[in-house]
């Protein structure tokens, strides 16, 4: 392998020694800055006080007993989440986030960004859309069966 092949095609401007430049860039926290920039670019707006996810988080936080929820409180939160249109998985994630923040002694308002990452209630397909898809599937199956019967009898 020649010396030319081992040299990179790209180089940092203002630095002739690329391994030293790469090491110093990592030492200065370039990955941390990139992660922060990516997080800022994808930043979702904070939750509204009327957002069902935030309502569940506040209710869960108020019902914590020694940083955990009793079974009855968890069941009530799951029922409440169902009434608000929040999926059971998301309700359990909200409970886990709230409990984690309580254990670490972090204020609930700091959990807003993590809770905002969960799926918004009602963002999935509506019941009418699901029935329309089923109806289309049944109609397609009937047409395919009719064509198959016609082909076999012709």
pLDDT digits (tens, 9 = 90+) for 97-116: 999 998 888 888 888 888 88
All structural domains of the chain with their residue ranges? 3-41, 52-116, 125-154
Residue 48 is predicted with a pLDDT of 83
Residue 2 has pLDDT above 60, yes or no: no
Please give the pLDDT value at position 131. 83
- Residues 21-76 pLDDT 10s: 555 555 555 555 655 666 655 554 577 888 899 999 999 998 887 777 889 999 99
Greater pLDDT, 51 or 124 = 51
CA triple 31-100-74, angle to 5 deg: 140
85: part of which helix (H) or strand (E)? Answer: none
Q: What is the pTM of this model?
A: 0.53
* Cβ neighbours for 98, distance < 8 A, ≥ 6 positions apart: 57, 60, 61, 64, 108, 111
- Interhelix angle for 30-41 vs 18-27, to 10°? 60
The answer to whether 132 and 138 are in contact (CB under 8 A) is: no
CA 58 to chain centre: 20
Q: Give 7's contacts (C-beta < 8 A, 6+ positions apart).
A: none
């Amino acid at each position: 392998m020649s010396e030319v092949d081992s040299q990179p095609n790209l180089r940092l401007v203002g630095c002739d020694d690329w391994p030293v430049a790469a090491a110093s860039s990592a030492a200065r926290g370039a990955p941390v800055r990139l992660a922060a920039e990516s997080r800022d670019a994808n930043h979702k707006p904070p939750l509204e006080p009327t957002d069902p996810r935030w309502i569940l988080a506040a209710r869960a936080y108020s019902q914590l007993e020694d940083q955990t929820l009793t079974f009855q409180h968890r069941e009530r939160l799951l029922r409440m989440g169902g009434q608000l249109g929040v999926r059971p998985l998301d309700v359990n994630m909200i409970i886990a986030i709230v409990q984690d923040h309580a254990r670490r002694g972090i204020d609930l308002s700091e959990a807003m960004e993590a809770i905002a990452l969960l799926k918004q209630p009602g963002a999935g397909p509506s019941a009418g859309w699901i029935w329309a898809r089923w109806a289309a599937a049944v109609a397609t199956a009937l047409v395919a069966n009719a064509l198959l019967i016609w082909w076999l009898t012709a």
